[in-house]
Each structure stands twice: as structure tokens, then as C-alpha cells.
Amino acid sequence: MKKGNHNTQDFPSIEILKKELNRERYKRRFRRILRSTVNALIVVAAVAALIATLVLPVLQIAGTSMEPNLNDGDIVVMMKTDRLHTGDLCAFYYSNKILIKRIIGAPGDLLWINDDGTVYLNGSELTEPYITEKSLGECDIEFPYQVPENYYFLMGDHRKTSIDSRSSVIGCIAEDQIIGKILFRVWPLKQFLWMG
């Protein structure tokens, strides 16, 4: 073959070059979108993990002391807060475990529990729609009982079996042991329940 004499089959056509260029552009754009999507998912997962750890931890119930409202194996979401009121379910540290009980008395409250398990708070009978059966349970404290400052008096909903502030073994729980209050049960799904 002489110089300057080229066979047109040696070079791709303009159409093929355009298609190849478009294919390369599409690949680059696809990679860029994929990279940004993966980065966005990583950020969302990190934020969700931070929220779950720092603001709304998820806990699993162990034991029967909160029946019938919370059962063994239920999963609940807690909110870290120090705004606690009588009737709130709260999570607290006790012996390197996280336990859940209900706030019955706040700092300074005066409590009395009859032999039949009826609770009186500051002279009035406490309305407790969350319990199905009253019981004095394991109780070795003397009444009337005043909740010390910076402490909360906590009881389980299953009064007969719950070991709680009625027992001097556990006693009242200090404010700094309380992590927060239970907002809702998320598992089992069919029993989703707002508690906050």
C-alpha cells in the first residue's frame, strides 16, 4: 500500500465514534450517580446510627415484670430525656443492666401502699389503668414513704412478680441512673403502641 492511500475500512465511521463517545459518557455519568448514591446512603446510615444511639435507643424487653403492657422479647424505642412524670415508663441502669419500670413517685412525693396493693400518692389514690391486678408484692419498706430528693420510686406493672422500689434491695432510683422514657413499642408490629 502506498503512502496517502488509506483503506476506509481501517478507520471507524463517525457514527461508530459518536456511539462509543456516548457510551463512555453514560458510563462516567452512571459511575458518578452510583458513587453519590452510595455516599448518600452511608451518610443516612451514619445519621440513623447516631440518632439510634444518642437520641432514640432501641431496647429489647427481658422478663415479665412489665406484663401485660410489655412482654418478654418486645422491642421498644426510648427517648433520652430528664422530663419524667408519674406514670411514664423509664429505662435505667441497675447492676450493669438496663431495666424498665414505671414511675410511681417523683422526688419529694409521699407514698402509701395498702396490703391489697392500692397505691396512694400524696394522699390520693393513684389511678393505674396500666395494671390488671393489684398486689403488695415484695415490699419491705415502711409507709408512709417519702421519695428522697433526686430519686424516683419505680414499680413494674406486674405487681405480684416485679422486684422494684418496694424492696430495699433495689430501693429508689437516682436521677442520674435514669436514661430516659419509653416512647413506643415497635415489635411485634401488630402490637405497635405509643407510650410516650
Q: How many Å apart are CA 155 and CA 134, to the nearest integer?
A: 12
Buried b (16+ CB within 10 A) or exposed e, 10-49: eeeeeeeeeeeeeeeeeeeeeeeeeeeeeeeeeeeeeeee
pLDDT in tens, 47-104: 766 665 665 677 777 877 888 888 888 888 888 888 889 999 999 888 888 889 999 9
Q: List Cβ neighbours of 155 (8 Å cut-off, separation of 6 or more).
A: 101, 102, 104, 119, 162, 164, 165, 166
> What pLDDT, in 10s, does the model give residues 143-156?
999 999 999 999 99
Least confident of 10-19, 38-47, 50-59: 50-59
Give me the phi and psi of 10, to 5 degrees please. Answer: -75, -25
Domain residue spans of the chain: 11-55, 83-178
pTM, two decimal places: 0.69
What pLDDT sits at residue 1? Answer: 45
The answer to whether residues 39 and 148 touch, using CB atoms and an 8 Å cutoff, is: no
The top-level CATH class assigned to 83-178 is mainly beta
State yes or no: pLDDT of 192 exceeds 70.
Answer: no
